Amino acid sequence: MIQEKHLTFTINLLVSLFFLTVLIVPKGYNYAPIILSAIGLIYFIPLKKKSSFSSEDKKLIFSFLFYFSTFLLSIIINKDGIREIDNPSRLLLFIPLLLLFKNFPIKRKTILYAIPSSALITGCVALFQKFVLGYEKPFPETMHIQMGNIAISLATFTLVITLHFFIKKQYKSTLFGFVASILAIMTSALSGARGGWIGLPVVIGIILFLYKEDINKKLIITLVTVITIGLTALIANPKFGIEKRYNAAKSDIVSYLEKKQ
């Protein structure tokens, strides 16, 4: 029988690999969750391990099942293809994950170091693919809009973790996290996607506001200054194509408004 400490190690390893493979491996966002869900199903069904549910757990599981059922009913009524249920069915993977993480909580250090490390490695791979291998966009196997938004998510998660390191006075980890966050932002810039950039200033502003009691004003000013300089450098560099995409978006909006008149 697998010892629980080995299972805990495996679960934490798979969680770490999820963040690392989410962009680097084609469709990497599928593999770790599927394996974790399979572990959850095997652990709680064949092995008949008991797990108590709170009322909140039951409500969440019911909402997942209800959401999936509505899509299934719609497909049956409208006689749509089975492919239409692909994305809603993935939501069901959260149920065994919920059970698994409830009994085997993810270690805090796993999250604190897996996300910045993944952001750093992803950024380095993106820069290598763009400027060394000559790819038009990094990670061509992934749709560029999806890739850009995933990279922005890694950047914002890493920024929050970086502030945590700073508050704990772990300055080496703070520097590591800040560099990783910048690299993740650069990855998004190289993707050509615009959606994530619209919300990025708002998200960063909210993060800094929530942490205003824990960090001094000088640090906030420094962060804003560095991020502003970094974004300006990205916009000014034609290899990133940000200015070109901005002008294209502006042209599309102007054309749309002119047609409305």
> Do 162 and 241 lie in a common domain?
yes
Mean pLDDT of 144-163: 92
**Position 188 in a domain:** yes
| Angle made by CA atoms 104, 161, 142, in degrees to the nearest 5 | 80
> Do 94 and 220 lie in a common domain?
no
- Domain end (from 78, 103, 128): 103
Which two tokens mark 234?
């990205």
Which two tokens mark 79?
């006689």
> Do 121 and 235 lie in a common domain?
yes
- Number of domains into which the chain is organized: 2
Q: Is residue 80 predicted with pLDDT exceeding 80?
A: no
- Residue (of 83, 38, 92) closest to 63 by Cα position: 92
- Residue (of 200, 128, 125, 210) closest to 167 by Cα position: 210
pLDDT tens per residue, range 185-224: 889 888 877 777 778 888 888 888 888 888 777 777 777 7
> Do 129 and 221 lie in a common domain?
yes
> Do 128 and 247 lie in a common domain?
yes
**What CA–CA distance (Å, rounded) separates 137 from 111?**
28
**Position 260 in a domain:** no
> Do 61 and 123 lie in a common domain?
no
Range of the domain at 226: 111-252
Give residue 42's pLDDT: 83
> Do 74 and 98 lie in a common domain?
yes
**Position 258 in a domain:** no
**Position 74 in a domain:** yes
> Do 48 and 145 lie in a common domain?
no
**What CA–CA distance (Å, rounded) separates 191 from 65?**
35
> Do 229 and 190 lie in a common domain?
yes
pLDDT tens per residue, range 7-19: 889 999 999 999 9
Give residue 202's pLDDT: 86
> Do 59 and 187 lie in a common domain?
no
Confidence (pTM): 0.80
> Do 51 and 32 lie in a common domain?
yes
**Position 257 in a domain:** no
- Domain end (from 103, 123, 140): 103
Contact 162, 174 (CB under 8 A): yes
Q: Is residue 254 predicted with pLDDT exceeding 70?
A: no
**Position 259 in a domain:** no
- Domain end (from 87, 103, 119): 103
> Do 141 and 242 lie in a common domain?
yes
Give residue 114's pLDDT: 96
Contacts 24+ apart (CB under 8 A), 161-164: 161/111, 161/112, 161/115, 161/116, 162/116, 163/207, 163/211, 163/214, 163/215, 164/112
**Position 187 in a domain:** yes
